[in-house]
Amino acid sequence: MTRDEELKRRWNEVLEFFKGKFSDGEAMDLDAILFIIGVQELGQLHRSFKKDEKLQLMHIAICRVLEPYGYYEFSHFDEDKWPHYIVKEQLPPLKAGEQSLLMKEAIVQYMLESQVIQ
């Protein structure tokens, strides 16, 4: 199986996991998945979030899933227990499709490390 085929298979596993756990059987988009990962990383699962907090949660998720790639590094938790990251390396300029592919690959890796998928 090629690398692209393996990524596609695993990405479909990720989609099925999130569809089964967090939606009414409808596929979730990348932003929704990032939001849920952000909530997981924050650890405040049973609360409502304001609009600006939802964007911050997506940022947390992006930093977390791209951390193994060397783009971000965990810095600290603030007084409200929100994680903060520092930029270690700027992301290269990517076209929309390349950006989406990088995020899918990073999310798949995150889900493998979390032992949610195999």
Report the domain count for the chain: 1
Residue at 97 is within a domain: yes
Residue at 118 is within a domain: no
The secondary structure element, H or E, covering residue 24 is none
- DSSP letter string, 48-84: ---HHHHHHHHHHHHHHHHGGGTSEEEEEE-TT--EE
CA-CA distance, 6 to 77, in Å (whole number)?
35
CA-CA distance, 107 to 41, in Å (whole number)?
13
Residue at 40 is within a domain: yes
Residue at 20 is within a domain: yes
Q: What is the pLDDT of residues 18-55, one digit of tens each?
A: 999 998 888 899 999 999 999 999 999 888 999 999 99
In a 13 Å sphere around the CA of 15, the CA atoms on its Cβ side amount to 13
Structural domain span for residue 51: 3-113
The secondary structure element, H or E, covering residue 46 is none
Determine the pLDDT at residue 118: 79
Q: What is the pLDDT of residues 47-96, one digit of tens each?
A: 899 999 999 999 999 999 999 999 999 999 999 999 999 999 999 999 98
CA-CA distance, 78 to 68, in Å (whole number)?
22
Residue at 74 is within a domain: yes
